Chains A and B, each alone.
Chain A
Amino acid sequence: MSAPAGIPPRSAAVPGGARAPAAAARPPPCQNGPVQNQMQFPFGYGLHLENYSASSGHYPPVPHEAVPSQLNNQYVADYHSACYSIPVQSVMTTSVGPSMLNTQQLYSGAPHPVESAGGLTQGAISSASHLHTSVPQSYSAVSSHYSSSTSSSVASQGFPLSSGRYAMPTVSSAVYPNLSYPSMSVGSPYGQVFTSQSLPAVGQFEETNTFPDQSSTVPRTLQQQVPLGYNSTSWSTSDFQSAQDNFSRNNTGSLAKASNQINTVGIVDSSHPVSQNVQFTKPGVETSVVSSAVTSSIRTPVGDHLTEPASVPSNTQPSESLLQEAIDSSSTTSSASPVINNYDALEGGGYPETNSAASSPAPTPQTSRTPKPFGYGYPTLQPGYQNATPSTSAMQPSNPGHHSGFQQYPQYPGVNQLSSTLGGLSLQHSQQPESLRPVNLTQDRNILPVSPVLAPVPNLNSDLRKLNCSPDSFRCTLTNIPQTQALLNKAKLPLGLLLHPFRDLTQLPVITSSTIVRCRSCRTYINPFVSFIDQRRWKCNLCYRVNDVPEEFMYNPLTRSYGEPHKRPEVQNSTVEFIASSDYMLRPPQPAVYLFVLDVSHNAVEAGYLTIVCQSLLENLDKLPGDSRTRIGFITFDSTVQFYNLQEGLSQPQMLIVSDIDDVFLPTPDSLLVNLHESKELIKDLLNALPTMFINTRETHSALGPALQAAFKLMSPTGGRISVFQSQLPSLGAGLLHSREDPNQRSSTKVVQHLGPATDFYKKLALDCSGQQTAVDLFLLSSQYSDLASLACMSKYSAGCIYYYPSFHHSHNPAQAEKLQKDLKRYLTRKIGFEAVMRIRCTKGLSIHTFHGNFFVRSTDLLSLANVNPDAGFAVQMSIEESLTDTSLVCFQTALLYTSSKGERRIRVHTLCLPVVTSLADVYAGADVQAAVCLLANMAVDRSVSSSLSDARDALVNAVVDSLSAYISTASNLQQSSLIAPNSLRLFPLYVLALLKQKAFRTGTSTRLDDRIYAMCQIKSQPLVHLMKMIHPSLYRIDRLTNEGAIHVNDRVVPQPPLQKLSAEKLTREGAFLMDCGSIFYIWIGKSCDNSFIKDVLGYPNYASVPQKLTQLPELDTLSSERARSFISWLRDSRPLNPVLQLIKDESPAKTDFFQHLVEDRTEAAFSYYEFLLHIQQQICK
């Protein structure tokens, strides 16, 4: 632990001392990629080591183990800045530092920030201090703002002075917090120091500026300070205008650019505090009060902004314009989208974090207790991120300042890369002791972290600093990529990526440009991790080819400046969306076409799903994504196939029955799919009539195959989406299936058969559909076996999605009915991309070899997706083909080209950058256990279909055994007798055990074949966040919710109960527990549960009177009810599918549903967690 094993040896090779700035500009020719950046600061790095270990010993690891390391890390960063008086670097580093500091402050949760902030406010007149005055609102907000402003003002103060002077304050102020915060109570000295420094600076700039308004004056001299100052004031248009005037008067070049920065940052920052109810209340400055977290309230300020920029481009004749757009992304993302789409917001570095902040389980989530990790379009921001962002905003704008202030420093060394690499180095370094800390699994009984966020993602070290892709969209199982395949083999960990490329993003820069800059040889899109060799050339980070920067790219319409290609939004954001030019399409983009294929046999009518489907459709007809060309059609089938002529002009819908199911044909090819807007009345009539139309049917057969063939014929001219609702085994015509399940084999421990399809029909059909850009989505609502293994093929290979509602009945099973209703709402209104292709590229030397998900692989790196939806996840396995010796960073880029529902061709690009390591310890330190488990689950599904279930189970166990034994053998000093895992992998055995008990892989427990197959389908197609909930649900005790540690979301207090271990030992009869399984919430109530809870929350007088089936909590006007409801709705808000609630009483038969998820307990057929550990240990010793 104390050994700083992770120091790259190369750093020692480079002599220390100040680096000539010129050297930073030009990369050594022999190196590839941004390596050179890492070499810049070896001296500080090495020096720092001693301090590092010393200090890490200092801090009690109690509150959160990650904290000390982060601290140190900062220390490193700051140290650099001290050592090297190169302003650019030091500014960058300082700002990196404090951002981490924030995290730590947050978690310590202590009052120091306030204290020191108070001290600071007195002295600091600078605009930064406005932020401090906002302190009282909430701690997290405060601390984040506080430190971010600290960093920026520190930088700015030093800035106008000599560089030597400059370095000093930076160090002192930045280092202070590191040391003082965790150790308590040194808050005020800090504030004083700060104040004394900031005063002269402020004075200075007040002299130089004559503008009365602070915020507008700031930009002139101290660019770095600008963003924050603006932050508080920028909302008012007049302010902005004046600032603009100033700029145009004084300067045109860099200052104008700076103004733009301000603008951006103002937006970004403001979007952050939003959730925290921060108020900017500094008198004398025009402020807009962002008092509520509701997104709509942000919009007003944004609106102001939007109006201004309209004039901006006209002044500056942009050669290309960034479209503020995201109509599309906003259309389905219920929450705040407009913020980014603001023209100006596109520029500026603070921005990508905003992105990730909006919805992500951070790399740092270990410490933040407040937010949920799964921010699916969740409007509030994670404090852990919040603090990151302001610091970035502080950092980014500093660039222009430097350029103008220090002309001698070249402009394009890729400053951000520099800092990032630096940050990465240090974090990577500091991360190790923690993530490598050996954990004795057999002795440490409470390895599960208390808060859900703690789910250990010892994730992306900040080498993937601010610019890196959000881990929600893009995650790698090893955040430190081993240099060679041999090293990877030694580590025995799977290497792969988990993707969620089409995720709902609240903020996404959309770029319109006539030329999309790509590498000429590998076609990589330009991204933040490329290096600019000089102003006219850039080096691809994937294939290392040197490319020219096109003329058009030299001009940045946002900053209205020329010659700064590295400031373009493409280079500032790792997730961007391009609007593709006509090069990317041969035929006009297809319209949105939706076809619904509905089962109306007796079985289906009896189950009563038609009412729900028609009702949902009626409600959401206007919300279907699409434009004026949107088309819609309906087919129903029992033993015949019925078509509906909805041609405009008819008085009522016309049903056309085709009974020749052996050779099905389209009765009137052109009037079956009709324009949604033209025929809306007819469609509504049909939807109203459909549920009753078949009420007396006696037809029990189901001709699904022919109906699908008809649907395919109908869709093939355009492509689109077919939604199939099926309620039983298809029994007629092509594609008929027979029951293959033997109920006696359900709990067999030996062989589980029939996991593969029984017929090729559905697969062939899916491939045909895929070729015609049509996806088939399957809703299976059956009470009996319906051979999902075969039926699922229709969705698997056409990039559709699968929903399964076992024993669906509208009245007997209200929970399922409710689930269908909610799923449909999401399904119908969510974003959709048509005729999509996805390509994943990676740095030369790595190769992708297996894909998991619903798609068709069209060429070895190109996935064909007829439709892409925001809930689809993908996984890929990778191998290292050539050793990565000549690079220190590897990058992965996913490009998803699709046609939006508005008929635009768009490309969404995500880029992820990871460090390469050479030692085994580093590989373990960077292991992302959740990603690894999800990848293993995907591989296990493949294995169970291609080989057998028991093989797959063995492989899962072996994965744990191998990796842990490999780890133990590397750490020779450990005693061999106990089961030791690195901290990063401490949950590995638990998760694998959970997987083994998951419906997909369990044996010995009665599992219906369809349930099993459905679980497998979900594993293959769910994004990581959902999959983890499915594998390892979260358990909370909810009968004693308190406000301790609660967070505030949208004016509501959301209590944060600690996460419980999934074991019956945590359940008590006196309690009530909530289990969050992703798609369903169980509330289990113990026999002797407190009557006051039952009365206050459930609304029943005592336990006995609580009904068996309860699917929602009543709205009672009591505190505990309010807490429980706000907690549950907070959990719900974080995911796209509205999970249903199911109340389970202790003696109810449904309690097995609940108890099966208690994976740490022993069942007749499976190990308990402890037994499993012993089993692993045995295997290792063997």
Chain B
Amino acid sequence: MAFTFAAFCYMLSLVLCAALIFFAIWHIIAFDELRTDFKSPIDQCNPVHARERLRNIERICFLLRKLVLPEYSIHSLFCIMFLCAQEWLTLGLNVPLVFYHFWRYFHCPADSSELAYDPPAVMNADTLSYCQKEAWCKLAFYLLSFFYYLYCMIYTLVSS
């Protein structure tokens, strides 16, 4: 029973993973909110509601955009930590997602500062469903990795 760096990494990632799970859940909720307009059809056509709805969309997109960088950096932090701790298996499990995140981040189209979640673009049904699927997958991944980290943490604590 020794408190190694690896054990520390797992403990930290356990905490951060909880945060990521929260992010993923938040994403799912946000996309659901974007997708469904709870107002009755007649209300939807009403200009006053239009304004509210538009503000809502912009706000959600704004928040979504704010969360992009924290999520990506937290996850990259994992990888760096596991790299340092020489936890190759865990690293290997996380690397694909890191690459995916890099791709997402640097593959943004416009010259502008905007990343993803551009209000006009995100409302297209295929973008939205893609984002939602992505969020569900990430949630599953983070949940599994949460338990994996938990196991690994105990394992490293016990074994060494």
Contacts and interface: CB of A to CB of B under 8 A. Distances in A.
Interface of A: 523, 583-587, 590, 719, 740, 753-754, 756-760, 763, 767, 770-773, 796-797, 835, 837, 839, 847-851, 856-862, 864, 877, 897, 945-947
Interface stretch (B5-13, B16-24, B36-44): B36-44
14 contacts: A584-B45, A587-B48, A756-B112, A757-B112, A758-B111, A771-B50, A856-B119, A858-B37, A859-B34, A859-B123, A860-B35, A862-B44, A897-B45, A947-B109
Contact of A754 (B36, B45, B111, B118): B111
Interface stretch (B66-74, B84-92, B124-132, B145-153): B124-132
A770 B53 CA distance: 11
B42 to A, nearest CB: 6
B126 to A, nearest CB: 4
B52 to A, nearest CB: 9
Contacts of A763: 112, 118, 120
Main secondary structure of the interface of A (DSSP, over half): mixed
Interface stretch (B54-62, B97-105, B136-144): B54-62
A753 B109 CA distance: 10
A897 B46 CA distance: 10
Given A587-B48, A757-B111, A763-B118, 5 more contacts: A586-B48, A590-B47, A773-B47, A797-B120, A864-B54
B42 A583 contact: yes
Contacts of A760: 112-114
Contact of A859 (B37, B46, B118, B126): B37
A757 B118 CA distance: 12
B109 to A, nearest CB: 4
B127 to A, nearest CB: 8
Given A763-B120, A767-B120, A858-B54, A849 B125 contact: yes
Contacts of B58: 767
Given A772-B51, A837-B44, A850-B126, A858 B57 contact: yes
B124 to A, nearest CB: 5
B2 to A, nearest CB: 51
Contacts of B37: 858-859, 862
Interface of B: 34-37, 41-51, 53-55, 57-58, 109-114, 118-120, 123-126, 128-129
A860 B120 contact: no
B47 A586 contact: yes
B124 A859 contact: no
Contacts of B125: 847-850, 860-861
Nearest to A859: B37
A857 B122 CA distance: 9
Residue of A754, A767, A860, A861 most packed against chain B (CB within 10 A): A860
A757 B111 CA distance: 6
Contact of A857 (B110, B111, B124): B124
B123 to A, nearest CB: 4
Given A584-B42, A587-B48, A771-B51, A858 B123 contact: yes
B111 A837 contact: no
Given A584-B42, A757-B110, A858-B123, A767 B54 contact: yes
Given A584-B45, A835-B47, A862-B44, A857 B123 contact: yes
A857 B120 contact: yes
B44 A859 contact: yes
Contacts of B53: 858-859
B53 to A, nearest CB: 6
Contacts of B55: 771
Given A767-B58, A772-B51, A858-B53, A759 B120 contact: no
Nearest to A898: B45
Contacts of B126: 849-850, 877
A837 B120 contact: no
B39 to A, nearest CB: 9
B114 to A, nearest CB: 6
Contacts of B124: 849-851, 857
Contacts of A583: 42
A862 B58 CA distance: 16
B41 A860 contact: no
A592 to B, nearest CB: 15
A839 B42 CA distance: 12
Contacts of B110: 756-757, 945
A95 B18 CA distance: 71
Contacts of A837: 44-45, 50
A771 B46 contact: no
A481 B44 CA distance: 30
B128 to A, nearest CB: 7
Contacts of A754: 111
Nearest to A864: B50
Contacts of A862: 37, 44
A835 B128 CA distance: 25
Ranked 8 nearest A-B pairs via Cβ? A756-B110, A857-B123, A859-B37, A849-B126, A771-B54, A849-B125, A946-B109, A586-B46
Contacts of A770: 54
A535 to B, nearest CB: 27
B61 to A, nearest CB: 10
A583 B41 CA distance: 11
A856 B47 contact: no
Contacts of A740: 111
A123 B91 CA distance: 95
A587 B47 contact: yes
Contact of B109 (A523, A756, A850, A858): A756
A861 B34 CA distance: 12
A770 B51 CA distance: 8
Contacts of B129: 849
A758 B44 contact: no
Contacts of B35: 859-860
Contacts of A757: 110-112
B120 A856 contact: yes
Contacts of B118: 763
B36 to A, nearest CB: 7
A767 B48 contact: no
A860 B119 contact: no
A982 B64 CA distance: 47
A948 to B, nearest CB: 9
A856 B124 CA distance: 10
A1087 to B, nearest CB: 47
B109 A945 contact: yes
A234 B36 CA distance: 54
Which of A583, A839, A849 has the largest number of chain B CB atoms within 10 A?
A: A849
Nearest to B54: A771
Contacts of A590: 47
A890 to B, nearest CB: 18
A861 B45 CA distance: 12
Contact of B111 (A756, A858, A860): A756
Contact of B47 (A719, A767, A857): A719
A759 B50 contact: no
Contacts of B41: 523, 839
Contacts of B50: 771, 773, 835, 837, 858, 864
A860 B128 contact: yes
Contacts of A861: 125
A848 B129 CA distance: 12
A773 B46 CA distance: 11
Contacts of B112: 756-760, 763
A905 to B, nearest CB: 9
A771 B126 CA distance: 23
Nearest to A862: B44
A424 to B, nearest CB: 30
A856 B54 contact: yes
A772 B53 CA distance: 11
A859 to B, nearest CB: 4
- Looking at B37, B48, B110, B111, the one whose CB has the most chain A CB atoms below 10 A away is B110
Contacts of A753: 111
Contacts of B44: 837, 858-859, 862
A490 to B, nearest CB: 20
B16 to A, nearest CB: 31
